[in-house]
Structure 1
Amino acid sequence: MPARSPSPANDTAAHGTTFEEPTRPATREAGRGPAPRAAVTALLALAALPVLFTLVEVFRAPPMHYGDYWTILSKVIDDTGALAPAGLFELYNQHPIVVTGLLFYVDAVLFGGSNHLVGVVNVVASSAMVAALWTMLPRRLSPPLRAALVATFSLLLFSPAILEFYAMSMSGAHWLAGFAPAVVALAAAHRGRTVAAVLLALLGSLGHGAAFPVWLAIALVAWLRRDAAWRIWTPLVLLGGVVVAFLTMPGGSSVPPADAPAVDVYLMLISATMGQIFAIQSVDLATLAGLAALLGVAVSVTAVVRARLAPPPDPSGDGLTSAASGRGPAESAGWVGLALHATLVAAMVGSSRVSLGVDIGQSARYAIIPALTWIALVTLFVLLRPRVPVARAVAVTTALGVVAFVAGSTQGQKVRNELRAVPLLAVAAQVGAHETLAGLKMNPDDVPAFAATGAYPFHDGFTLGCGGPELGDRVDLASVRELAHPDDDTETAGYLETGRVEGDAEISGWALVEGARADCVLVVDTSGTVIGGGMTGLNRPDLVDNLPTSEPGAGFQAVAAAGLLEGRVLVARDGALYEVVAGAEADVDGAGAGGTPGG
């Protein structure tokens, strides 16, 4: 007797329609045994690797928050560091901050303002999105194909292109406060759980404007599923309430208004945003990838909508036709909703950020938009092309994820480079270097309120990273060795490129100790008291070309307390201190970097 094929999951249970799968050869349901089990294990391991890599990046990042964390925190606390609830209901750059403001406040007051902790929260939020997307996959798909899709979801959502969300956690916390509830809401709507979907959409709408399109997507999902009318109209009515609330909320924007540009500029910005995960260094290539995504969305959505508009299947007709036509729109509903949601967010970026130029579409914070778009597209490809063999479908889906992950490396390195400035910000906040603070996106007037919350660097965990001298300690200057001038052609050398060492002013240069970078940098006054510090490891490839070293990260930058008129710069390596000096005054005032290699 031939084996009977299993019945598909009842994805249409909410409207009371069930279709029996007829007996037939089913390529994607065949094949169970050692080989498929090994493939599933390997693919699930592949899905776990990007999460683990991202966690490593989270803990490699500086402990201090950066950028918008401090701006948003300043809106939700008063001068004493206590919560100011009214600030939660102000817009920031046209986005709600209710959820994010509360998260940042709790993080500052209870957890010392930990960039690492919020980064882990963001990893959990993205993992929840992967899990929600997994629940939307129909059971009829073979285990290897389901595992391949989950691996692709993970590779896209934890691509280095989205590293800003995790290593620079303030960015991810704000965006994921909108996106994560929205994606889980779509998973709920996909199963006919409209009330849960609406509540999650409301939560997302309090977190970030990226959640706003999900109301339309939930309504579309309900329509594709042939749900009751109230399930379609409820999210649309509530969207109207959300829009009214949004328009009445106070708050400004740092984005300059734009003159009405040509339609092609809007389209290019939207396309570049939707394709950037595959082409960070080229707006043109990103635009082409984005246009391919838009075309894929249009074709896929059209196919599913046409199936939904077709006459309902005749139960007395051909069993295969009845099952396929009834199952198609319902099992694709959530994925169509996801594609619509991501596309509308890209359109929001295009309309609200066009004054910043088309290059803004390459910003790391927008990489989640193409990630979710391509997740929807690759899944719709699998669902709408059921006759593609399992091995080929697995190869296509996995290859897409791997390519996106590798292509995101350039964006990830940009984020790592930007984070190198955070230790300098921490020192400037501690020593009151107001000009430096302003240049690093922290309002000096808000520092007392930040300090009152106890957020890093305003607690005992702050360190200059030298494993010894900290701010206020005194160094025995007589024991400090002076680094050689670069003209001496030695592996232990350094150069202070900014000349005289003054407080709250740029102090930068490079230092090598036996051909290796310094562990940290200190600024001391003439008595040896430590009154400043900064960051090391800055990229200086010119040194490799001109000195006997293979170390490209020998650059440093430091800052000292305002009011210092004459200081000295020390670097540490393996516990020993060395002084970095400038050349002759004529060298410093001349062109280039005072005789430094590659200056």
Structure 2
Amino acid sequence: MSERVDESTTIAATDTPPEAPRTTKTARFKAPGLGVIALWGLLVAPVVLALAEALRSPRLNYWDFWRVFSITTDADGTLDPTTFVRLYNDHPVITVALTFWADAKFFAGSNWVLGVATVVLALCVFAALWRMLPQQLTGHRRLAVLAAFSLLIFSSAAVDYYGAGWMGIQWFLGIAPAVVAISFAHHGRTVPAVVLGLVGSLGHGSAFPVWIALGLVAWLRRDRLWKVLLPLLMGLAVLILWRLAAEPTVGDPPSILGADTYLGSIASVLGRTWATLSADTALFGGIAMLVLIGLAVVDSVKRRGTAIELRAELTTPDVKGDAGWIGLITHMALAGVLVGVGRAKYSNVEGLTGRYSVIGLIAVAGLLALLATRPIEKIQRNLVPIALVIGLGTYAVGSTNAAIVRKEYATQPVLAVAMQAGADSVVKKMNAYPENLEKYRRFGIYPFTPDFTLGCGANGPELGTAIDVSRAAVLPAVAPPTGERTAGFIEASTVSGDRKLIGWAFIDGEQADCVLVTDSSGTVVGGGAVGLPRRDVSTGFDHVTGRAGWEAVAKPGLKDGLVFVSREGRLYRIASISGKDPANG
């Protein structure tokens, strides 16, 4: 008893003896651990790298940018709304055409701008996936899943979209609104979901399955009947309008088709996530993903039918919490089917083309999210390594695709020169439509801008200027054993106009700053790209750059022209244009 009195007396005599408040205060300012920092780094790094890819890509646009701009504008580049009712490659391009036109109008048709815009759209996709994750998924597990999402959406397998901005805009103006729409539907917000579904349907055919996905999400959530029916009816209306605008197919497909052709084409779209060059691996991976998606959908439908009681804890599979993810993977599976069936006429592995990679990447993200919310102790305990293996593994597999895409960067200046010089054959081969060059020129699309240059420096030669041929040093084409570190070669028997000229040159072991093509009097009539990778040169000669390659083009009508390269303001003539290439000898 006395002990009790003493104890209470002691407590009363003390001002603030409890230590708890101080402990709480200290914990509030605790620095994040290395694991958290590493996960945040893995989340942010892919976004930064995708943005860097967009900014280091060629300034000059290519492929479908030129085609879509040409068919949706009149002779002076003014938008022609009557063309919007037509489909392009079997899908609408209304928002794409508007974006391309705006890029041409305000940014001189910059590929950089389209690439950055694609990164922004991809961030919208990432944010939509983030919003669908349940709040009960916390801590390292949540951060690891988000890092995996970032590694998937901004994967090296998706470099096509960020490096070739026209492709990114085409796909993400369909995919991004559709994914955000599914996120809205996941939270029961049907009206904004339908509006975004319409926006996506105006941009790309890959958005069309969103109508089925939105109806499925609302049904799984046990929303009101109108929320289920409205997306389905809107989808039916879009389909009718789509088919009315479609042009009839003419002629037979370029391949003899079978049921396996279609199956393979569909599987390759989804399986490309796991393979770039191996068709067998892609097909197997695609079938595996289709089966997993099918099982997940069937499981959710069954659980919805048995009316499982929903819980707030992450201990019971929540059919309402799964709704958005089921809608997402259903959308991607159906998009894969649309692409596979539509492109099977070309190949059973047409889906291995880089432009389709976003479908499989987002499907993997959806499957990962469903896995992350399963109340299985082993999965929850190992979710961090599972998410990182999926994210980092997919990013690593995509590096092969990224290398293929980056190869095209270096040669884009050749197209710019060809367009300026009127080398129509080269322009056509590089998919820029020579019949529309005057339209591009009048509208002021790069390269038809005042800042166009051949890259020889501020005071270097440009198209139409003259150089003193006699003052240029001649580059020898020497045999490797001599140890020469200054040499050059033209891989052609003659230098003529309106064709690609290819060769290599290095000065003191370094690459040239620019390449020029002149007529016999020294007037500059062409140019091109330098710094192209040439492994054969770097291995054929000692201590020289691996970027000794160059490509050039000159105006039509040129015969017996001359090729020069420049290094630090000094010109060198490449005289060797025939015989066995010493780099390959």
Shared fold (TM-score, shorter chain, > 0.5): yes
Q: Where does residue 535 of structure 2 map in the other structure?
A: 541
- After TM superposition, the structure 1 stretch with the greater mean CA deviation from structure 2, 234-243 or 558-567, is 558-567
- After TM superposition, the structure 1 stretch with the greater mean CA deviation from structure 2, 440-449 or 466-475, is 466-475
Partners of 2:531 and 2:548 within 8 A in 1: yes
Q: Distance in 2 between matches of 1:550 and 1:504?
A: 31
Matching residue within 517, 521, 530 for 2:515? 521
Q: Which blocks of at least 5 consecutive residues in structure 1 are unaligned?
A: 1-30, 588-593
- Aligned partner of residue 522 in structure 1, secondary structure: strand
Matching residue within 417, 426, 446 for 2:436? 446
Could you tell me which amino acid in structure 1 is paired with residue 463 of structure 2?
Answer: L
Partners of 1:519 and 1:571 within 8 A in 2: yes
Matching residue within 477, 480, 485 for 2:472? 480
**Structure 2 matches for 1:241-280, cutoff 5 A?**
241-249=237-245, 257=253, 261-280=257-276
1:107-151 deviation per Cα after TM superposition (whole angstroms, max 9, x unaligned):
001111111111100000001100111000010111222211111
Q: Where does residue 52 of structure 1 map in the other structure?
A: 48
Q: Distance in 1 between matches of 2:169 and 2:303?
A: 38
The question of 1:335 aligning with 2:325 is answered: yes
Q: For the structure 1 residues 193 and 405, does the alpha-carbon distance in structure 2 shift closer, same or farther, using more than 3 Å as the test?
A: same
Partners of 1:57 and 1:167 within 8 A in 2: yes
- Aligned partner of residue 163 in structure 1, secondary structure: helix
Could you tell me which amino acid in structure 1 is paired with residue 282 of structure 2?
Answer: A
1:532-574 deviation per Cα after TM superposition (whole angstroms, max 9, x unaligned):
1111223322223322234232221110011212211111222
- After TM superposition, the structure 1 stretch with the greater mean CA deviation from structure 2, 379-388 or 190-199, is 379-388
Matching residue within 411, 414, 435 for 2:425? 435
Q: Distance in 1 between matches of 2:184 and 2:451?
A: 42
- After TM superposition, the structure 1 stretch with the greater mean CA deviation from structure 2, 224-233 or 502-511, is 502-511
Q: Distance in 2 between matches of 1:268 and 1:108?
A: 39
Partners of 2:513 and 2:567 within 8 A in 1: yes
1:41 to partner: Cα distance: 3.6
**Structure 2 matches for 1:232-243, cutoff 5 A?**
232-243=228-239
Q: Where does residue 581 of structure 2 map in the other structure?
A: 595
1:299-326 deviation per Cα after TM superposition (whole angstroms, max 9, x unaligned):
222222211111353x9xxx899x966x
1:181-231 deviation per Cα after TM superposition (whole angstroms, max 9, x unaligned):
000000000000100010000000000000000100000000110100000
Q: Which blocks of at least 5 consecutive residues in structure 2 are unaligned?
A: 1-26
Q: Where does residue 278 of structure 2 map in the other structure?
A: 282
- Aligned partner of residue 138 in structure 1, secondary structure: coil
The question of 1:559 aligning with 2:560 is answered: no
The question of 1:504 aligning with 2:494 is answered: no
1:387 to partner: Cα distance: 2.5
CA RMSD of aligned residues (A): 2.2
Could you tell me which amino acid in structure 2 is paired with residue 446 of structure 1?
Answer: N
In the alignment of these two chains, the number of paired residues is 555
Partners of 1:89 and 1:97 within 8 A in 2: no
Could you tell me which amino acid in structure 2 is paired with residue 163 of structure 1?
Answer: V
**Structure 2 matches for 1:281-360, cutoff 5 A?**
281-313=277-309, 328-360=318-350
1:329 to partner: Cα distance: 0.7
Q: Distance in 1 between matches of 2:246 and 2:294?
A: 36
Q: Distance in 2 between matches of 1:484 and 1:259?
A: 49
Q: Distance in 2 between matches of 1:114 and 1:244?
A: 35
The question of 1:491 aligning with 2:489 is answered: no
Could you tell me which amino acid in structure 1 is paired with residue 35 of structure 2?
Answer: A
Q: Where does residue 166 of structure 1 map in the other structure?
A: 162
Choose 1 or 2 for highest CA Rg.
2
Could you tell me which amino acid in structure 2 is paired with residue 508 of structure 1?
Answer: I
Q: For the structure 1 residues 243 and 36, does the alpha-carbon distance in structure 2 shift closer, same or farther, using more than 3 Å as the test?
A: same
Partners of 1:93 and 1:252 within 8 A in 2: no
1:409 to partner: Cα distance: 0.6
Q: Distance in 1 between matches of 2:538 and 2:560?
A: 31
Q: Distance in 1 between matches of 2:252 and 2:440?
A: 28
Q: For the structure 1 residues 548 and 259, does the alpha-carbon distance in structure 2 shift closer, same or farther, using more than 3 Å as the test?
A: closer
Partners of 1:155 and 1:402 within 8 A in 2: yes
- Aligned partner of residue 377 in structure 2, secondary structure: coil
Q: TM-score, normalised by structure 2?
A: 0.90
Q: For the structure 1 residues 485 and 182, does the alpha-carbon distance in structure 2 shift closer, same or farther, using more than 3 Å as the test?
A: same
Q: Where does residue 220 of structure 2 map in the other structure?
A: 224
Q: Distance in 1 between matches of 2:141 and 2:268?
A: 30
Q: Where does residue 397 of structure 1 map in the other structure?
A: 387
Q: Distance in 2 between matches of 1:146 and 1:254?
A: 51
Q: For the structure 1 residues 567 and 194, does the alpha-carbon distance in structure 2 shift closer, same or farther, using more than 3 Å as the test?
A: same
Percent identity, aligned pairs only?
38
1:465-503 deviation per Cα after TM superposition (whole angstroms, max 9, x unaligned):
221222122222222111011236511101111121111
Q: Distance in 2 between matches of 1:559 and 1:433?
A: 8
- Aligned partner of residue 382 in structure 2, secondary structure: helix
Matching residue within 350, 356, 361 for 1:366? 356
